[in-house]
Amino acid sequence: MRELRPEPRPMAGARAPLFERLAEVEGTAASGPAPPRVLDRAGLRTSILEGLAQLLNTRRPGGVPEGWVLDYGVPDFGGLSAASAPDREHYASALTAAIAAYEPRLLDARISLEPVAGDPQRLRGRLSGDLLLGSIREPVVFPLLLHAASGALQFGEDNAGEVTA
């Protein structure tokens, strides 16, 4: 006799990342409600921004082969100049490669960077791509600000303050 299994049900949203779901297992009764297992559109955007802020503000060590776990993050940009167009292209390329490797919920990521008038150490830009919500692709744009000397990257509407994920 065949065993009856429940039919898969469609999800209204996107599955929360593994580490967010594992945090639920640790128990969050003392610190508030458990994180959701399924994220709505706003929750998914917030989760992606938090993950991107962590990824793009992590410096990876030199000499690590590409594709290894130790390859997580972006290279140190300390020697590059915000005023140099080739250096800006290098910044954008490195950031885009890290996103493609470590953030599968954001497809076809593209980054454009421009110098900030009056501040030679900062670059203002946009990260655009397609958000993957279940089987639906939705175009998104995240404004960003990059401090060239430190490599610190911030996301937000006004590009002036802290990461607004």
Domain range summary for the chain, segments of one domain joined by +? 38-155
Q: Find the range with the poorest average confidence among 7-11, 42-46, 151-155.
A: 7-11
Given this model, what pLDDT does residue 10 score? 46
Tell which CATH architecture fits domain 38-155: Roll (3.10)
Q: Is 131 helix (H, G, I), strand (E, B) or coil?
A: strand
69 or 153: which leads in pLDDT: 153
Mean pLDDT of 131-139: 84
pLDDT band with cut points at 50, 70 and 90 for residue 38: confident
Residue 28 has pLDDT above 60, yes or no: no
% of the chain surpassing 90 pLDDT: 35
Give the model's confidence band at 92: pLDDT under 50 very low, under 70 low, under 90 confident, else very high: very high
**CA neighbours closer than 13 Å in the CB half-sphere of residue 55:** 21
Strands 106-116 vs 119-133: parallel, antiparallel or unpaired: antiparallel
Q: Residue 57: what pLDDT? A: 92
Give me the helix-helix angle, 85-102 and 41-56, nearest 10°: 120
- pLDDT higher than 80, residue 159: no
